[in-house]
A and B are shown apart, each in its own frame.
Chain A
Amino acid sequence: MHISEGVLSAPVLIAGAVVAAGGVAYGLKRMDGEGTVSAALVTSAFFVASLIHLNIGPASVHLVLNGLVGLVLGWAAFPAIFTGLLLQALLFQYGGLTTLGVNTVVMAAPAVAVSLMLSPLITRKGRMGAVASFGCGFLAVFFSSLLLAAALVFTGENFKVIAWASVIGNAPVMVVEGFFTAFVVSFLRRVYPELLLCLTPEPPQMEERI
């Protein structure tokens, strides 16, 4: 999900770049050497996974996966998504360099928001966990489409129709993304819970009682 080059106005581009720079810097600050290596490889895995196309009837959509990126990487979602978008711009010319900031915010801010809001609930067993992980995928794409629409509307009144069309047009993607995220989370919870940030146990706390 991204905005093409040449559409947005200068204030929107600059605001996007500033927020993205802040988010990326904070995300980087929270990563150590080992964390950077695993973030890099998980980023490549997300890059490859985002090329998967799912069928919706006769059409097919490709996955955004930003909810899942948030769950797995937390604040590192900012540098990871920035990297993904930069490589996409370089490898396939999806999006360009001037929109990199806005597009990073559009995708990464919802990822972090969703992970902060819902990750405590993901740990719940049974229906609650499943609903929370569905919500993660669904809401991340929903928030992203709202941010995208906002970027367009702030650029000019002319884009109102396109902005609404993109929110409504993304509705099927939100639902598919919700199911997909729920399945991925349930798989990871059974197979490799270390990968879900929220599932990693707190480091044992030293108390006075020994």
Chain B
Amino acid sequence: MNEPFIDIDSPIHRTSPAVRVAVAFLLSLVTALAKTPVVPLAALVLGVFSVLVARLPLGAVAKRLLPLCFFLILLWVVLPFTGGGPVLHTFGPLTVKADGLNLALLISLKAFSILLVLMALVSTLHTFAMGHALYALGMPEKLTFLIVMSARYISVIEREYQKLRNAARMRGFQPDTSLHSYRTFAHLAAMLLVRSHLRAGRVYNAMVLRGFDGRFRLLTDSRPEGLRGCLPQTAVMAFSVVVLVALEVAVRMGWGLFNC
């Protein structure tokens, strides 16, 4: 699959995977639960900063933000006309309400900042490193196994799909809006399922031969080495989490300065 964000050398890429996943999760949580735009705004700044520090290719970043933009356009078309609050503007029968407008703004800020943080901290991980990190953070063994295993085989099964798709194309199949087209794709998907199931049997047998007993063991070198070699980054990330949490607490306590 396309993974443009890994294999870059940056301070973020050198940070321990478990730290990155934990920080990304905590930052997303604080941002998602924020009541005012203060914390999401701070998170947005943090997100842009992390994307720059991680030296991600900006074209790919923009491309991944595109689906979110479509969703937000829909939101901005509907939300400003709902809710209560003072009326800001009138278009014929529709009135723009302050509440709805604020909500749309808040959601957009939150969504963008969370996505940027996620991209910089988590999408920069190899899937396997992420599996190890999740396991280190307390994800059940079997679930980690399921995640790592299916991540491993997505590219293999994607190749199977391309093979089947090419075979169909060779026979002159052109997708259109018809039952024939749907049936063709359905048979293709079903064949994909059959092949993946058969392959699973072979993979399982091979694993049993090598001593698999249903337990998932971590043997790779990329095992999270704790905080060794990434103390400064970890400190900065932990500090940013603390700052955002403190900011949100301050806002909720009604600290006058931030009540905008």
Contacts and interface: CB of A to CB of B under 8 A. Distances in A.
Given A31-B142, A33-B212, A41-B200, A195 B182 contact: no
Contacts of B153: 40-41, 44
B200 A90 contact: no
A36 B186 contact: no
A195 B226 CA distance: 42
A68 B118 CA distance: 30
Could you say which interface size class chain B belongs to? 35 or more
A36 B149 CA distance: 9
Main secondary structure of the interface of B (DSSP, over half): helix
A21 to B, nearest CB: 10
B189 interface: yes
Nearest to A58: B177
Interface stretch (B76-84, B232-240, B250-258): B76-84
B222 interface: no
A45 B78 contact: no
Interface residues of A, number: 73
19 contacts: A4-B111, A8-B32, A33-B214, A36-B145, A37-B149, A40-B150, A48-B154, A48-B161, A55-B181, A93-B64, A96-B114, A96-B118, A158-B103, A159-B79, A183-B182, A183-B183, A183-B190, A191-B190, A191-B191
Interface of B: 1-3, 24-25, 28-29, 31-33, 40, 64-65, 67-68, 71-72, 74-75, 78-79, 82-83, 99-100, 103, 106-111, 114-115, 118-119, 122-123, 125, 127, 130, 140, 142-143, 145-147, 149-151, 153-154, 156-158, 160-161, 175-177, 179, 181-183, 185-197, 199-201, 203-204, 207, 212-214
